[in-house]
Amino acid sequence: MNIFTLPDYLTPETKSPIQLFLYESTTSQLNSKIDLTKNAFSFLQEGFKTVSTSHQPIAITNDAFLIMKSGHCLMTENLSATNNFYKSILLFFSDDALFQFIEKHQIPKKHFAATTAAKACKYDGFVRSFVKSLEDIQQLPLKVQQQLLQVKLEEILLYLVATKGADFFGFLTAAKNDQTSHFINVVESNKLNKLSLKELAFLANMSVSSFKRAFEKHFQESPSKWFQNQRLEHAAFLLKNETKRPSDIFEKIGYENLSNFVHAFKTKFGVTPKQYQIQD
């Protein structure tokens, strides 16, 4: 699978600290490997978007937008059901641009733990008008765009600080975790997601072989066995506490058919899913 380095892949003609791109597609994308070299606003206009990082995946529809920290992520883009179309306006900005904003407006600096790599926010009237202005700017000559984007980035950052507090951007300025903590975050945050070893290794910024070695050293068993146990335990929770039927959950926890799920569940717990549900 290709790795797309953004924003360079979309805007190779400029290396500006602030870049704008209008992205449109008529093809869905599943878990594209993205290397974000800048932080980014993703103002979703049409379709559905899911971003998986070293923390919990975030899914949005076109009533929300994302703010993402630079780094590796997996991005899924699905077309809207009505227009069969995907559209997002991307505003990229470097760490330097963010720190200049913080210094200029004397926003208190605090030390934050890296507890997330992305945040979702609902649109309001102000943000919708802001996004429309970005579309208008995108039609202008590149030199004029660059001058205006300095002002527009400051505008949206000031608005979010005013409405959500100065700590809202703490996740963008938080130091990246050390390799071991980052690896554990990737595993724990995605233990119920149907990601391949290649995708997990990419999120952990490791080769597949290094990921396997680190996994077996830390968890004392193979990735396939560990993830299967985690998903079966989650299935047991759903069966007992949410009275879900086996036919409702087998795909959700990574099984292609019901019979394979029932066999794996019985191997682990000694009873079938239905028998497990009626146990005291």
SS3 of 25, please? Answer: strand
Provide the residue-wise pLDDT of the chain in tens; the chain has 280 residues.
589 999 999 987 777 999 999 999 999 999 999 999 999 999 999 999 999 998 889 999 999 999 999 999 999 999 999 999 999 999 999 999 999 999 999 988 766 666 789 999 999 999 999 999 999 998 899 889 989 999 999 999 999 999 999 888 888 988 777 788 889 999 999 999 889 999 999 999 999 999 999 999 999 999 999 999 999 999 999 998 887 889 999 988 888 899 999 999 999 999 999 999 887 6
> Which whole-number Å values give the CA distances from 218 to 13, 210, 214, 215, 230, in the listed order?
44, 12, 6, 5, 15
Please give the CATH superfamily to which domain 179-278 belongs. Homeodomain-like (1.10.10.60)
In the sheet where 118-122 sits, what is the strand order?
18-25, 86-93, 39-46, 64-68, 118-122
> What's residue 235's pLDDT?
94
What is this structure's pTM?
Answer: 0.86
Residues in the chain: 280
189 Cβ partners below 8 Å, 6+ apart? 53, 54, 55, 56, 57
> What's residue 170's pLDDT?
86
> What's residue 101's pLDDT?
95
SS3 of 18, please? Answer: strand
> What's residue 142's pLDDT?
86
Beta bridge partners, 74, equal 33, 52
Do 179-278 and 3-173 have the same topology in CATH? Answer: no
Locate the domains of the chain by residue range: 3-173, 179-278
112 Cβ partners below 8 Å, 6+ apart? 167, 170, 171, 173, 174
> What's residue 242's pLDDT?
84
Q: Are 242 and 248 in contact (CB under 8 A)?
A: no
> What's residue 280's pLDDT?
63
For domain 3-173, the question of CATH label 1.50.10.10 is answered with no
SS3 of 3, please? Answer: strand
